[in-house]
Amino acid sequence: MLRYSTAAVMLTASTALVNPAAAETELTMYYPIAVGGPLTEVVDGIVADFEEQNPDITVNAIYAGNYDDTRIKALSALNSGDPAQLAVMFSIDAYDLIEQDLIVPFEDVVETEEEKQWLDSFYPALMANSKIEGKTWGVPFQRSTIVAYYNKDMFRDAGLDPENPPETWDELVSMGKELTTDDRYGLMIPSTGYPYWMFQALAIQNGKEVMSDDGLTTNFDDEKVVETLEFWKSLSTEHGIMPEGTVEWGTLRQAFLEGQTAMMWHSTGNLTAVKNDASFDFGVAMLPGNERLGSPTGGGNFYIFKDATDEERQAALELIKFMTAPEQAAEWSIQTGYMGVSPAAYETEKLKAYTEEFPPALVARNQLEHAVAEFSTFETARVREGLNNAIQSALTGAKEPAEALSEAQAQAENLLSAYR
């Protein structure tokens, strides 16, 4: 079972951020387990350590599936009157949660100067999906960028430098061809699960954002965005370095570990699992660029539900402060591969030692320099579904990229017009 080896040390390090909460407070927290690995044990360990330090607070962690499942189950519980005080849900859910009047901004909960400093302590790129109209609606925890995993042994066998993965689209194609054989592909980019996320990365690299920063406008039918989908499709139909049709998100990591592909794009949340299970020498790199480098951020934020009492809000805040404290964030990053959410996490002795021994653990963090907010609008789920459908219909050959994206843009316009 994955637990912290020196709980007392971590508790002492976290004490400065944690104050005693009101007596006999019970919290229900919905939590997504979406990326592979025994994450439940890790979260259970954090919760147990928190309860040990805060004996008057009980935390019931409900593991609800992927991010979409978590949102649906948490909101269903709220609508049915079941108590829930906080959840980790998609960072991109903020607009919808605000619109439904389900969450409170953290400015309404934090009170002390120390708590205000804590709220300002996170990486700005990870707060881009959290700050809306001057208020902070979510606090980052299970956060990521997309990174490129590659098999160094296959690079060597193909006569490629294993320390120099592709940095441009042209290099991605040329190296992908060198790495493709009769029994493996040079590259796999997942197009199920979260196709919009991978597509947003490609569009950014091609110099175009797919949405505005106010949640009101999408750019799906822009020429550069159409070019982006044409390029993604060409990786299979023209260049032959990727399978035709769709690539499954949920099985891609295993395909990489089994040698079915030399390179894969995936969440940094898979890093520790790949490290533990790979039987070959592998590397991790920032995504290649075309006009620029770039990846959207990803993953989950903590939210506090509006129906929580003042006492429950304060207890929820204590739990969130505890889980995002530098020592906790450092241990979380080591155990999972997700990023430490604040610069202070990377200044801890534990994470400094780990990243010195295992430099790939810094790639996702370093990529924040080139990162943008993950795709998010009002009506996020429905707008995102239209984009996902467009991407998959183009990759499977059901529609041409321009036609598919034009239809997705029209659907988004219809959904968003009322909010303007």
Are 180 and 186 in contact by the 8 Å Cβ rule? The answer is yes
Domain count across the chain? 2
Is the overall model pTM greater than 0.85, yes or no?
A: yes
**The pair of three-digit structure tokens given for residue 95, joined into one six-digit string:** 């607009």
Residues 356 and 307 in one domain: yes
Residues 167 and 262 in one domain: yes
**407: buried, middle or exposed (CB in 10 Å: 19+, 13-18, 0-12)?**
middle
Residues 385 and 269 in one domain: yes
Position 41 in a domain = yes
Residue 105, pLDDT score:
98
pLDDT one-digit tens code per residue, 224-242: 999 999 999 999 999 999 9
Residues 163 and 135 in one domain: no
Confidence grade of residue 10 (pLDDT, cut at 50, 70, 90): very low
Q: Is the pLDDT of residue 135 over 90?
A: yes
CA 219, CA 168: separation in Å to the nearest integer?
23
Position 1 in a domain = no
CA 53, CA 57: separation in Å to the nearest integer?
9
Q: Is the pLDDT of residue 5 over 90?
A: no
Position 2 in a domain = no
Domain-terminating residue out of 371, 386, 402: 371
Residue matched to tokens 């505890």: 322
pLDDT one-digit tens code per residue, 138-170: 999 999 999 999 999 999 999 999 999 999 999
Residue 82, pLDDT score:
85
| β-pair partners for 266 | 147
Report the percent of the chain where pLDDT is more than 70: 94
Among 58, 41, 50, CA closest to 15 = 50
**The pair of three-digit structure tokens given for residue 415, joined into one six-digit string:** 């959904």
Taking 3-state DSSP, the helix, strand and coil percentages for the chain, each rounded to the nearest 5, stand at 50, 15, 35
Structural domain harbouring 184: 145-297+374-419
Are 240 and 309 in contact by the 8 Å Cβ rule? The answer is no
Residues 325 and 336 in one domain: yes
CA 360, CA 334: separation in Å to the nearest integer?
11
Residue 40, pLDDT score:
85
Question: b/e map of 379-393 (b: 16 or more CB within 10 Å)?
Answer: bbeebbebbbbbbbb
Q: What is the CATH number of the domain that holds 49?
A: 3.40.190.10
**61: buried, middle or exposed (CB in 10 Å: 19+, 13-18, 0-12)?**
middle
